Chain A
Amino acid sequence: MWNYFRDIGLGIVTVLTSMGVAWRHLFTRSVTLQYPTEKWTMPERSRMRLFNKIEDCIGCGQCARACPTDCITIQTEKRGKDEPEVFASDGTQIKLRTYVFDIDMALCCYCSLCTFPCPTHCLVMTPEYEYSVYDKLDHIYRFAKEKPLSGKAQKPHSEKTESHGQ
């Protein structure tokens, strides 16, 4: 009998307490950010989309080796002896011509392990986070600008990706 009335009493009291807490929150400031119109300022260390400044890239391939998901594809060839010497912005000589530098952001796991070994700091993760696309293949970012001189056929990255299913 005591338990019966205790249950009822405690029930009423705690329900009213809960309602009181909820009532106070009815008038506190909301924490919502109205996303497309207001945007969060990303911290500078934000790790979102990868970006490679290809002019500085020496094609060493350390990033591709560090990547745990193999999302970076690099193909290079030696620059000819008669060609003019090319230098990265920090003075490193670029001995290789990078004619394929593809990053498949659909495979990327955003771990940032690729950016640390980069000797010229040309591969960085940018705070850019709005890059959704309709086609998965559009997530392959091709940074290479130069064409191979030796006549090697450029192996399109898309074939490799398509075999993953699509």
Chain B
Amino acid sequence: MQSIAELLGLLPGYSSIPETYRALIPVVVSCVVIFACMALAVLFAVWLERKVSAHIQDRLGPMYVGGWHGWAQTLADAVKLLLKEDIVPASADKLLFKVAPFVVFLGAFAAFVVIPFGASSFVADLNIGLLYVFAVGSLSVIGIIMAGWASNNKYSLYGGMRAAAQIISYEIPSAIAIMTVVIPVGSLSLVEIVNAQQGGIQNWFIFRYPPLVFLGFIIYFIASLAEVNRTPFDIPEAESELVAGYHTEYSGMRFAFFFLAEYANMFLVASVATALFLGGWTWFVPESVVPQFIPGPVLFFGKVLALVFVQMWLRWSLPRLRVDQLMYLSWKVLLPASLALVLGVGWVTVYW
């Protein structure tokens, strides 16, 4: 953000803007940049998902639009969704129905503000960054319940209720699992957490106190899958049961917002996992051995993409859990395990 402020300072007439507004401009600009980058990444992820699923299923996936392996397919789909009619059911709660997709979308994108993409590429370094991510990230539950309720459709209602129960349950193990990282660092700031992992792969938290933090990573990853409603935890939109869950009644651009939010959420949880466990933007080996020749943000994005790929890979190889099994997994398996891990990490940090 500092560099953006410096760049903006070169613009003619920039210094004549009053101080109070001038402080806002870099924030807005960097938010727009992040938003644009994430929107592009999401479009890419949708394409990647279709390709991964296709190849796992011995298909080819989109091949025509844009030429090389149908790279422009998602662009074409986005244009199609933009042009489609925006249907609001007659018996729906009109206001909530219209607002809900934006709430979900907001929750997904707002959390990116604190993600450190590089040593200096982040919008804000909050000292409660992780707390912010979790708080804003769970905002989407409200949107989902709004959508489920406002659609006035029984399937949507089921989807909304399932999503609420699921996301709230899985916040707990995932929040506890990241404590395995927060305890050694002693800070909730994502930048500080990444800085603590400088100096090569052996300093990444995933390899710290083996296998304690690694297990924490696994628990966080599973719980985050559930938080973003991905298979095997996609019960809120379970296609074969609830048609499409909470977005059954949505069409056109409002549906696209739900769709984009799902992928943005995937990127969000993968970004958090990267920053916490996989060293963020840091290089694989100490700088003294091989200097880092890939820019930090690119490295970060590569790691995120690897995690997103694993999410897709899981989705296309596993069946879906049932509601009660989902709750069983959260409360009876992940929660005790994560609590034990936190105790273990705490003991190791204090007495080792």
Contacts and interface: CB of A to CB of B under 8 A. Distances in A.
Quick check: do A and B touch in the complex, using CB within 8 A?
yes
Interface of A: 4, 8, 15, 18-19, 21-23, 25-32, 34
B58 A18 contact: no
B58 A31 contact: yes
12 contacts: A4-B332, A8-B333, A15-B318, A19-B317, A22-B316, A23-B313, A26-B56, A29-B58, A30-B54, A30-B59, A32-B54, A32-B60
A94 to B, nearest CB: 50
Interface in B305-331: 313-314, 316-318
A37 to B, nearest CB: 9
A22 B313 CA distance: 8
Contacts, number: 40
Interface of B: 52, 54-60, 63, 313-314, 316-318, 332-333
A21 B316 CA distance: 11
A26 B53 CA distance: 9
Contact of A19 (B54, B313, B332, B333): B313
B59 A22 contact: no
B24 to A, nearest CB: 47
The interface centre, meaning the residue of A4, A23, A26 with most chain B CB atoms within 10 A of its CB, is A26
A23 B56 CA distance: 7
A82 B318 CA distance: 79
Contact of B60 (A15, A19, A27, A30): A30
Given A19-B318, A25-B57, 17 more contacts: A8-B333, A15-B317, A18-B317, A19-B317, A21-B317, A22-B313, A22-B316, A22-B317, A25-B58, A26-B52, A26-B56, A28-B58, A29-B58, A30-B54, A30-B58, A32-B59, A32-B60
Contacts of B332: 4
Contact of A22 (B54, B56, B60, B63): B56
